[in-house]
Amino acid sequence: MTVVAGGGPRVTTFDGQGLLNNKQAPIADFFAGDVANRGGVRVAVKNLDGDTKADIVVGSGTGGGSKVTSYLGKTIPPADAPPSNFDFEAIAGFAGGVFVG
């Protein structure tokens, strides 16, 4: 995972099998968090609900607070932001971002 300085909190996902076959078409692309924040977003992939879909956990990037949000793989559409499964402030009042994973 790479955080690009000056970038928005964009999350783009790819199919692992497709990447192995040199196909790099995104299967989902959305902003997670405050779209005005230019501190990026930190991303982890977990299995939160025990199904066969990968779930995404994101943390605010630098300057974006300390919000942690999860998205269930089964609810992530190919376009637009998916509904969050849960979200919370990890450290109230802290603006330095938070790492997940």
Instruction: Summarize pLDDT for 66-79 with one digit per residue, the tens.
Output: 999 999 999 998 87
The verdict on residue 30 lying in a domain is: yes
The verdict on residue 64 lying in a domain is: yes
The verdict on residue 81 lying in a domain is: yes
Range of the domain at 43: 10-89
Please indicate, yes or no, whether the overall pTM of this predicted structure exceeds 0.75: yes
The verdict on residue 47 lying in a domain is: yes
pLDDT of residue 4: 53
- Got the DSSP string for the chain? --PPTT---EEEEE-HHHHHTT---EEEEEE-S-TT--S-EEEEEE-SSSSSS-EEEEEE-TTSBSEEEEE-GGG--SBSPPPPSEEEESSTT--B-----
The structural domain count of the chain equals: 1
The verdict on residue 42 lying in a domain is: yes
The verdict on residue 44 lying in a domain is: yes
pLDDT at 3 over 80: no
The verdict on residue 54 lying in a domain is: yes
The verdict on residue 61 lying in a domain is: yes
pLDDT at 2 over 70: no
